[in-house]
Structure 1
Amino acid sequence: MSNLYFHYPFCRQACHYCNFHFSTSLKNKVNLWDAMKKELILREKEISLPIESIYFGGGSPSLLRPKEIKDLIQLIKLHFKLEDHLEVTLEVNPDDVTAAYLSGLKKAGINRLSLGIQSFNDKDLLLMNRAHNSTQSLNALELISKTFTNYSLDLIYGMPYSSLAEWEENLETALGFNPPHISAYALTVEEKTALYHNIKKGEVVLLSEEAVEKQYQLMVQKLESLGFINYEFSNFGKPDFFSLNNQNYWNGKSYLGIGPAAHSFDGINIRKWNVSNNQLYLNSIKKGKLPFEEEELTVKDRYNEYLMTGLRTTHGISLLHV
């Protein structure tokens, strides 16, 4: 089985911790979306297996209109084989969620949402420079929980100045909506981000590793006691609600990444990555050229990746493969 991933590289504003490729200038978003559809067709022959997961990430793909998503899904159906149990996930920001938007997404073919909450604490959201506030998060979750059966929410633990009690309150708030899936990530400081520079200037102080570990252990204990399975280090799902997209990555299956900075893997030994520049990407696609670099993984590379990804999951690794 294969995955399709679409990297939509636009955001309304820059989160201080994010080092993904994105632009806060939206002037080229229509042209770039058209270019992504052209890239998809140009790379049609790179996928021979049926697709079981389509994932829209970014960036902020909830800036897309439902019609734009519907048109793309129709294009995919024309050019690729799809599994009956196809999972189609869209990452959404709380400030983009309305009842009308969710209804449009369902009609477009989206059957799973990943909601970028990060925190229900406005102090954390301000430090991260998120575009939404806690009230918008609660409203979005209320609407999504009534509209979608399959959805996930993202949380970040280890936030500067956060206490164990505040983190527990975050978890309790999330669990109050009975979500089927939660992804939770430790705050990571990446170079060339505003957070990195704020820490260097002494304006932000990180938690100790011990404090971060306590937050993680509290989360694992609480979620597992409620029937969540920690199927991958950062992902917790109820039975039958594990993310196909996530599982396929960790299991080394093939995936095709479309859009600036998107990565692809043939499931064997070829990895490709698109240029991380919107204008260069547009110029290349206009000429009918694919804007990626590639590498051939050695046997050692493959073993290292197998160990790195397998040890993150509940199924672990097999000594027969080592």
Structure 2
Amino acid sequence: MDKTIHKDHKLLSFGEAGRGCGIYIHIPFCKQACHYCDFHFSTSVKKKGRLVEMLCKELLLRKAELLKSEIQTIYFGGGTPSLLTSEELQQIFETVFANFNIAENPEITLEANPDDLSEEKLKMLAASKINRLSVGVQSFFEEDLRLMNRAHNAREAFESIRLAGRYFENISIDLIYGVPEMSAEKWRKNLQIALELGVPHISSYALTVEPNTALQKFIERGKVKPVDDELAREHFEILINTLKKAGFEHYEFSNFGKPGYFSQNNTAYWLGKPYLGIGPSAHSYNGDSRKWNVANNSLYIKALEKAELPLQTEKLSVTDKYNEYVMTRLRTKFGVGIAEVEEAFGKNYGDYLLQQAAVLLKKGLLKNENEILHVTSKGKFLSDGIAADLFYVEEE
């Protein structure tokens, strides 16, 4: 068997990552609904072909938004982008590459589910412009996957990653911790399996109970035990320590990468770089405003058929930008630069930042290293709450 591994793109260092702009393409289809998920998707794929046509039409209608920008990342998210056929992928790529200024070696990521990654599918993806896979494993244990209502089983979770390694070098997997009744030993085993498979990037998230999801209803009815914050905290500590020993860098709260394998797409988000969001429910950001598409496949298609953009726009104030900067940077290894805040938002915001940070510094939740604020090990699991304490709240 031929071993075709994608190595044709330059993996940027953390300092280089995030230059240029990105395109996010939302593929709103799934085989079945995961119990914890509140993203926009449909389990009916009847309109998939037509929706892909409208994705391409939206790309054409909005190309002027990034006319002078170099596109360094293209990200297929969802939903389940691995449901796309080779023809549908090619249709999208032809539109993107013909109408945008694409960098010489862009990072092109496709989210995939393990049950889609047959050898035939992997060969097709490896023959396309995709050079990075993000695989939604979530767990290597059958009982966890059943609780989440994932479409794949434990064997498929393992085999898909083993097989993907024959065709792709740059692979990320998602794992969920804090699952009710998941022991510390089982969580360690999940991580050990991932390490044995040799993946260079892991994104790991605590199981959260989103409103109006099946998981919320099951917990309310007593069919599933409530999510335990202390259990999640224990798993998080195991996660950090295990991956650090294995040579991974904890470069963002939920993301761990071997050197050279940090996600350029996600890093660009955290650095506040512009991106164009295409597809139902997709968000866009240009530094001054945020836009988002209607979260309805039928309404999205109908609007684009009339050459109308089903968008809403929010103009961002200086305070909005400051708060977003604090929220995103505090989650990363970059930290919140005091001088950078003053330069970007004004000295009053820098003074406010230091004033709000004082208590957190005394509590040992923040540290000031060369005038850059970082969350301490003690504060890591509380980073979102710490960010909220640093937010600027405008008086009525």
Of 5, 22, 35 in structure 2, the residue corresponding to residue 3 of structure 1 is 22
Give the number of the structure with larger relative contact order, counting CA–CA contacts within 8 Å between residues 6 or more apart: 1
1:174-253 matches, within 5 Å, as: 174-253=194-273
1:42-121 matches, within 5 Å, as: 42-47=61-66, 48-121=68-141
Of 293, 297, 306 in structure 2, the residue corresponding to residue 287 of structure 1 is 306
Number of the residue aligned with 1:28: 47
Q: Which has the larger radius of gyration?
A: 2
Number of the residue aligned with 1:134: 154
Number of the residue aligned with 2:175: 155
C-alpha distance in 1 between matches for 2:96 and 2:45: 25
1:274 aligns with 2:283: no
SS in 1 for 2:166: helix
Number of the residue aligned with 2:15: none
Say whether the 8 Å CA contact 1:93–1:115 is kept in structure 2: yes
C-alpha distance in 2 between matches for 1:146 and 1:106: 10
Of 270, 279, 296 in structure 2, the residue corresponding to residue 259 of structure 1 is 279
Say whether the 8 Å CA contact 2:35–2:213 is kept in structure 1: yes
- Output one character per residue of 1:34-66: Cα deviation in whole Å (capped at 9) or x when no partner: 111100100000113100000001001100012
C-alpha distance in 2 between matches for 1:315 and 1:146: 34
The structural deviation recorded for 1:71 is 2.5
The structural deviation recorded for 1:278 is 0.6
Aligned-partner residue type, residue 90 of structure 1: L
Q: Which runs of 5+ in 2 are unaligned?
A: 1-19, 342-349, 351-396
C-alpha distance in 2 between matches for 1:211 and 1:187: 11
Say whether the 8 Å CA contact 1:91–1:116 is kept in structure 2: yes
TM-score (ref. length: structure 2): 0.80
> CA 1:82/1:247 → structure 2, altered by over 3 Å: closer, same or farther?
same
1:296 aligns with 2:315: yes
Aligned-partner residue type, residue 153 of structure 1: I
1:41 aligns with 2:36: no
TM-score (ref. length: structure 1): 0.98
Say whether the 8 Å CA contact 2:249–2:259 is kept in structure 1: yes
The structural deviation recorded for 1:207 is 4.1
Identity of aligned residues (%): 48
The structural deviation recorded for 1:67 is 2.5
C-alpha distance in 1 between matches for 2:307 and 2:45: 23
Say whether the 8 Å CA contact 2:70–2:102 is kept in structure 1: yes
Aligned residues: 321
The structural deviation recorded for 1:247 is 0.1
Number of the residue aligned with 2:335: 316
Say whether the 8 Å CA contact 2:49–2:88 is kept in structure 1: no
Aligned-partner residue type, residue 336 of structure 2: I
Number of the residue aligned with 2:360: none
C-alpha distance in 1 between matches for 2:316 and 2:136: 33
1:14 aligns with 2:11: no
The structural deviation recorded for 1:135 is 0.4
Aligned-partner residue type, residue 39 of structure 1: E
SS in 1 for 2:145: helix
Say whether the 8 Å CA contact 1:161–1:206 is kept in structure 2: no
Runs ≥4 in structure 1, deviation > 3 angstroms? none
Aligned-partner residue type, residue 305 of structure 1: E
C-alpha distance in 2 between matches for 1:264 and 1:304: 18
C-alpha distance in 2 between matches for 1:202 and 1:32: 39
- Output one character per residue of 1:194-252: Cα deviation in whole Å (capped at 9) or x when no partner: 00111111211134222111110011001011110010000000011000111000000
SS in 2 for 1:212: helix
C-alpha distance in 2 between matches for 1:111 and 1:85: 10
Q: Which runs of 5+ in 1 are unaligned?
A: none
The structural deviation recorded for 1:74 is 2.1
C-alpha distance in 2 between matches for 1:117 and 1:260: 24
The structural deviation recorded for 1:73 is 1.3
C-alpha distance in 2 between matches for 1:22 and 1:74: 24
Q: CA RMSD in A?
A: 0.8
SS in 2 for 1:147: coil
